[in-house]
Amino acid sequence: MVKYVITGRPGVGKSTLFSNIVDYLKRNNINVGGLKTPEVRDVNGIRIGFKIVDLITGDEAWLARVDHHSNIRVGKYGVLVSEAGRLIEKSLKTAIEKADVIGIDEVGPMELKIPVFNVLLKHILELDKPLILVVHYRLSDPYILSRLASANRIEVTIENRERLNRELPFKVYGDIVKFLQNRV
């Protein structure tokens, strides 16, 4: 099974590496489905929240915002459970049905506050389908960690990020092509 877990401290370039891998796969005709959760900054560069973006359609919804009043919070952010949940459900179900590879950036505290994300992630972890996941460096969920124990674990650091961005997209692509050819 081809499973890649990208992890590392905040701000080291995990999402950039994930995007580079996904972009390379797509340019080489690999259908990647799933989602990413980019941060959103205001005009002064201050982070105000996070969005959910579908990797296939580009559709987006708010995941969490500083100014959102919610009982579900992660730090200073209010989580938009129903808005984000609708797009997460659509994105991940489409990825399960139609994609060659499922990518998720990120499996972290905010995403795990959304019930449908938990259910679909657990289902995805049981599939015989290549995965590329950005996993929060302090994730402690025993079920998720047990399902990722045999994954290729990539820890991004300031020191290795340039090399990883040059080399890893090719390696992941090769592993996925080999896996898909063996399934046919």
Q: Could you give the count of Cα atoms lying within 13 Å of 85 in the half-sphere of its Cβ?
A: 12
- Digit-coded pLDDT (tens) for 3-60: 999 999 999 999 999 999 999 999 999 999 999 999 999 999 999 999 999 999 999 9
Q: What CA–CA distance (Å, rounded) separates 144 from 108?
A: 11
Write b or e for each residue in 135-173: b if 16 or more Cβ atoms lie within 10 A of its Cβ, otherwise e. bbeebebeebeebbeebeebebeeebbeebbeebbeebb
- Residue 184 confidence (pLDDT) above 80: no
Domains in the chain: ranges and CATH: 3-36+87-183 (3.40.50.300)
Q: What CA–CA distance (Å, rounded) separates 106 from 10?
A: 12
How sure is the predictor about 183, in pLDDT bands with cuts at 50, 70 and 90?
A: confident
Looking at residue 47, the DSSP 8-state letter turns out to be E
- Digit-coded pLDDT (tens) for 126-139: 999 999 999 999 99
- Digit-coded pLDDT (tens) for 144-164: 999 999 999 999 999 999 999
Asked if 77 and 110 touch (Cβ cutoff 8 Å), the reply is: yes
Question: Taking the complete model, does pTM exceed 0.85, yes or no?
Answer: yes
Q: What is the pLDDT of residue 1?
A: 80
Q: What is the pLDDT of residue 114?
A: 97
Write b or e for each residue in 106-130: b if 16 or more Cβ atoms lie within 10 A of its Cβ, otherwise e. bbbebbbbbebbbebbeebbeeebb
Q: At what angle do helices 14-27 and 161-183 cross, to 10 degrees?
A: 40
The pair of three-digit structure tokens given for residue 92, joined into one six-digit string: 């991940």
Query: What is the mean predicted confidence (pLDDT) over 160-177?
Result: 97
- Residue 165 confidence (pLDDT) above 90: yes
- Digit-coded pLDDT (tens) for 51-96: 999 999 999 999 999 999 999 999 999 999 999 999 999 999 999 9
Asked if 169 and 21 touch (Cβ cutoff 8 Å), the reply is: yes
What Å distances lie between residue 64 and 69, 111, 154, CA to CA?
Answer: 10, 9, 27
Asked if 74 and 109 touch (Cβ cutoff 8 Å), the reply is: yes
Q: What is the pLDDT of residue 155?
A: 98
